[in-house]
């Protein structure tokens, strides 16, 4: 494996970035899912209460959501990730989502 | 309340942004909590499997974390939010966190 890396290094035009196997590039996508405004968030409410108990004053509201980090095959489009959100990752009745690529 | 809003509107130099009570400004902080690398993420694994079942190919890895949105009293520092993370929001043994202010 390391030998492959060294051979690859020899062929590279750009300076070595410190990573072997850089030929295996994946796309990353990040999806943020939050409860819509007006939807009760008991988990966030529990966190707010706990912060108060710990002596943190001035915490006026807490809402908790999800981050989902996806390692995707190269060339996956944002449209595909949006489809994943609509079909599985977010419950669009009560949750909103935001997709971040790269 | 609405009358206050209208009076305030009359004094504004920039176009009205649709919000009354904009004098009540809160700080926002966002905390991202992710499982550290090497820590097994069964929830993420379940999502990966489900995406495969739905016909989404090339999903090589999924990790799921939390976003916590905090409405804070004006003047709360990032140090305070970091303290909240250390004491409550993240389990620093298995989770890493990132704080974003504003």
* Alpha-carbon gap: B87 to the closest alpha carbon of chain A (Å): 8
Identify whether A77 is part of a domain. Answer: yes
Identify whether B76 is part of a domain. Answer: yes
- Lookup: tokens for B91: 């389990």
Q: What is the pLDDT of residue A10?
A: 46
Identify whether A10 is part of a domain. Answer: no
Residue range of the domain that includes B43: 26-101
Name the residue in chain B with its Cα closest to that of A31: B64
Confidence label for B15 from pLDDT (cuts 50, 70 and 90): low
Q: Is B68 on the interface with A (CB under 8 A)?
A: yes
Q: Is A26 on the interface with B (CB under 8 A)?
A: yes
ipTM of the complex as predicted: 0.74
- CATH label of the domain that carries residue B74: 3.30.1280.10
Confidence label for B61 from pLDDT (cuts 50, 70 and 90): very high
Residue B83 with chain A: CB contacts under 8 Å: 56
Question: How many Å is the maximal CA-CA distance in chain A?
Answer: 60
CB contact under 8 A, A66 and B68: no
- What is the number of structural domains in chain B? 1
Q: What is the pLDDT of residue B102?
A: 85
**Rounded Cα–Cα distance for residues A22 and A18 (Å):** 9
C-beta neighbour count of B88 within 10 angstroms: 15
Identify whether B81 is part of a domain. Answer: yes
Q: Is B30 on the interface with A (CB under 8 A)?
A: no
Identify whether B63 is part of a domain. Answer: yes
Identify whether A15 is part of a domain. Answer: no
**Rounded Cα–Cα distance for residues A99 and A79 (Å):** 10
CB contact under 8 A, A62 and B80: no
Both ends of chain A: CA-CA distance in Å? 27
Q: Are A89 and B50 in contact (CB under 8 A)?
A: no
Question: pLDDT tens track of chain A, all 102 residues?
Answer: 444 444 444 454 555 555 554 445 689 999 999 999 999 999 999 999 999 999 999 999 999 999 999 999 999 999 999 999 999 999 999 999 999 998
Identify whether A51 is part of a domain. Answer: yes
């Amino acid at each position: 494996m390391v030998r492959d890396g060294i051979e690859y290094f020899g062929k590279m035009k750009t300076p070595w970035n410190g990573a072997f196997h850089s030929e295996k590039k994946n796309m990353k996508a990040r999806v943020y899912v939050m409860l819509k405004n007006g939807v009760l968030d008991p988990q966030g409410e529990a966190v707010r209460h706990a912060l108060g108990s710990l002596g943190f004053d001035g915490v006026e509201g807490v809402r908790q959501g999800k981050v989902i980090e996806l390692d995707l095959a190269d060339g996956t489009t944002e449209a595909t990730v949006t489809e994943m959100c609509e079909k599985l990752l977010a419950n669009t009745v009560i949750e909103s989502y935001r997709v971040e690529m790269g």
